Structure 1
Amino acid sequence: MDNYEIKVFHLDKNKDNKSKSIFPTPMRCLIVGSSGSGKTNLLFNIIINYWVPFDNLYVFTKNINQPIYEKMEEVFAGVDGVEVYITNEDITPVDDCRPNSLVVFDDYILEKQERMKDYFIRSRSKNISCIYIGQNYSLLDLKT
């Protein structure tokens, strides 16, 4: 009989999740890879394991119906102190984003980059971490 390890997720916001952070925060991060390379799964692990601490999660995605985003909403539905916003609507301006947030931009590579640039430049002072997911590094505006 094979032994399998079961991962237990402690999503109680009363626990000290900041100690789990493996990235300096606030942070700006790019996750780049081809289709099917596991970019969204990596993001899921970063979020579920609180590798980047947050009180508010904003996910701006062109494809809102991905099962992994539905699972994120389900997992955080019962967690006190965490607000989750997953949308394919316009990106919230950085000035309207709540402090202590994690903001994800998924597959916006062909869109105007002004709002995302604004986050990458101005979010640190509001303690907002940003993750940009894309399939092609060469199409990114490298000034961000």
Structure 2
Amino acid sequence: MGKKFNHSEIFPSNPMLVCICGSSGSGKTHLTFNMLTTPNLLDFNSLYIYTTTPEQSYYQSLKALEYLPKKDVQDLFHYYEGNEKVEIKDTDNYIEAKNPTDIKVFLTKNVNDLDLTNIDSNRKNLILFDDCVAQRNQAVQQEFFTKGRHHNCHCIYQSKSFYGTDSMFIRKNANCFLLFELND
């Protein structure tokens, strides 16, 4: 087994399987971004993000974790959020001029790109599934939630629904819940 995670004591540590539920616009992605970029909150050095909307500024900003400390990524995001005339892509040269950190970020919109057999179990892997509750086939998500710990993977599953039948398996296996107002 790989390195032991050292999350903040408010999170389960072996394994951390978080389910964040809330209606559209409730703040799930904002919360997750802040959790990922707050120093000493979540411990990881490989971040895998599955989302149907990889173009979101939150996810584009998280790629900077490969070159900047967590707090700097948070500050950079808030700077660009407040300056609409400057695009986040304008920072690519600035970021890539920095020395790489030990964090690797993988962003995909194809859930089948996530394969447990290709995960380096010597790294601290954090897998984020963003709003995939509408997918009929949850086999990949279920595999990570049940077998991921054997590959040193912890998971965060964001969903618009708490009671949806497709998310029932995830809900039964999660050991931490963060709930926003729900419409279901």
Out of 20-29 and 81-90, give the one that drifted further.
Answer: 20-29
Equivalent positions of 1:45-124 (< 5 A) are 45-49=34-38, 50-78=40-68, 79-89=100-110, 90-99=112-121, 100-111=124-135, 112-124=137-149
Cα root mean square deviation, aligned: 1.9
Report the 3-state secondary structure (helix = DSSP H, G, I; strand = E; otherwise coil) of the residue aligned with 1:34: coil
Aligned residue type for 2:66: F
TM-score by length of 2: 0.63
Structure 1 runs (4+) deviating above 2 angstroms are 17-22, 74-79
Relative to 1, partners in 2 of residues 1:93 and 1:75: Cα closer, same or farther, differing over 3 Å?
A: closer
Gaps of 5+ in 2: 69-99, 171-184
Gaps of 5+ in 1: 1-16
Relative to 1, partners in 2 of residues 1:91 and 1:136: Cα closer, same or farther, differing over 3 Å?
A: farther
TM-score by length of 1: 0.79
Identity %: 28
Separation of aligned partners in 2, 1:85 and 1:21: 26
Matched, 1:131 2:156: yes
Q: Which has the higher helix share?
A: 2
Report the 3-state secondary structure (helix = DSSP H, G, I; strand = E; otherwise coil) of the residue aligned with 2:117: helix
Q: How many residues align?
A: 128
What's the counterpart of residue 92 of structure 2? Answer: none
